[in-house]
Structure 1
Amino acid sequence: MATIKSAISLSSSSDRPGRISGEVHVIVGPMFAGKTTALLRRIKSEVNNGRKVAMIKSSKDTRYAIDSIVTHDGMKFPCWALPELLSFKQRFGDDAYEKLDVIGIDEAQFFEDLYDFCCKAADRDGKTVIVAGLDGDYLRRSFGSVLDVIPLADSITKLTARCELCGKRAFFTLRKTKETQTELIGGAAVYMPVCRQHYVNGQVVLEAARRILESHKVRSDSYLEATSVV
């Protein structure tokens, strides 16, 4: 009886008006699926609604800018570039952190402490956390801790790209180069989105990728030669 009363008391106290309640939203997909674009749109919507936001990305990603999140088509938003997420509160400042409503995390696959951070930020601190990242690597295996936060999520959005070889929906990321390490940061020169058929037909895809790269190189060399002549 005492246990039942304790449970009822705990339930009643936790449901009082004003109780802090956080959220976790996850955006996944292959490269070039628009994950960062979707994240920035959501963040800008939160800003327009008067909520205070902060953006975080991995300090490993320096492709476009060090202190900004930048999409492949040029959208930009200032951010904190960090080696790990659990250092964010201290670096941001306790008072400033308390006033935050929303935290966006881009390239989430690079953060080993993603699960712990989402738990603390949403469950304990009442923050809305929006996570964007790759759900799989170039071998179609789980990448980092992104899939680990699925059980925590209030919503999950799976985006697709367009297969670079046939135009169908692309669910996978193909690496064009010979490197085999899991973490190899790069853009269109290193990766392409592909459909299942063109992923499975690996040798055909790789040969097509080499032709595309060679075509880009030829056009680039021709441009440089023309420029030097002028």
Structure 2
Amino acid sequence: MAPPPADVADARTGEVHVIVGPMFAGKTTALLRRVNTEAGSGRKVAMIKSSKDNRYATDAVVTHDGTKFPCWALPDLASFKLNYGPQAYQQLDVIGIDEAQFFGDLYEFCCQAADLDGKIIVIAGLDGDYLRRSFGSVLDIIPIADTVTKLTSRCELCGKRAIFTLRKVDETQTELIGGSDVYMPVCRQHYIS
């Protein structure tokens, strides 16, 4: 068997890692843990979040318990390379993406960054909305993911394992950004009742 062409053999191989689950499951905490571990290993990292999510900070990814990591808040992922700077982008090893469900161009970005640019992509986002339907394009990433981690929370009503997010207010639009004032994690039993 002949060796691959030099340009293929020398290319860095990227990866895509997906962290999903209901609200309050620790998705952002898991994302930050992974990104901090990569940075601690000497890799150059950058974090992105949707500019729609300004609950805790506009320039940082923030967990519900207040842990922060500086980030780029963007309306789409296509603008990241340009905003970050093409030369600086070349030096990046790892890109973290929080609240990934808000990015309509998530699939395209991950294919480009991992397959062609050799980046490690770690995304965290909701896999379902409050109606238990696919939310955004996070589930579209599953076929190209190296790993998928589904986290759970604790049901706010009974303490059992929570896999769903229940909306506590009467608003019906799919995208309603909020915290514990708007959502709570619940088990299957409490979701259907």
Please classify the TM superposition score into its range, dividing by the shorter chain length: over 0.9
Structure with more strand by fraction: 2
Shift of 1:121: 0.2
* Equivalent position SS for 1:149: helix
TM-score, with structure 1 as normaliser = 0.82
Aligned length: 193
Is 1:117 aligned with 2:112? no
> Which residue number corresponds to residue 221 of structure 1?
none
Is 1:130 aligned with 2:122? yes
Name the CA distance, whole Å, in 2 between partners of 1:198 and 1:16. 52
Task: Note the 1:93-172 alignment, pairs <5 A.
Answer: 93-172=85-164
Name the CA distance, whole Å, in 2 between partners of 1:63 and 1:56. 15
Shift of 1:159: 0.1
Instruction: Identify the match of residue 62 of structure 1 among 25, 44, 54.
Output: 54
* Structure 1 residue runs without a partner (length 5+): 1-7, 202-230
Residues 96-124 of structure 1: CA deviation (Å, up to 9, x unaligned): 00000000000000000000000000000
**Counterpart AA for 1:91:** N
**Counterpart AA for 2:70:** P
Higher relative contact order (CA 8 A, sep 6+): 2
* Equivalent position SS for 1:57: strand
* Structure 2 residue runs without a partner (length 5+): none
Name the CA distance, whole Å, in 2 between partners of 1:14 and 1:28. 37
How much is the aligned-residue C-alpha RMSD, in angstroms?
1.3
* Equivalent position SS for 1:62: coil
Identity %: 73
Name the CA distance, whole Å, in 1 between partners of 2:85 and 2:7. 29
Structure with more helix by fraction: 1
Instruction: Identify the match of residue 193 of structure 1 among 178, 185, 190.
Output: 185
**Counterpart AA for 1:88:** F
Shift of 1:20: 1.2
Name the CA distance, whole Å, in 1 between partners of 2:114 and 2:162. 32
Residues 140-190 of structure 1: CA deviation (Å, up to 9, x unaligned): 000000000000100000000000000000000000000000000000000
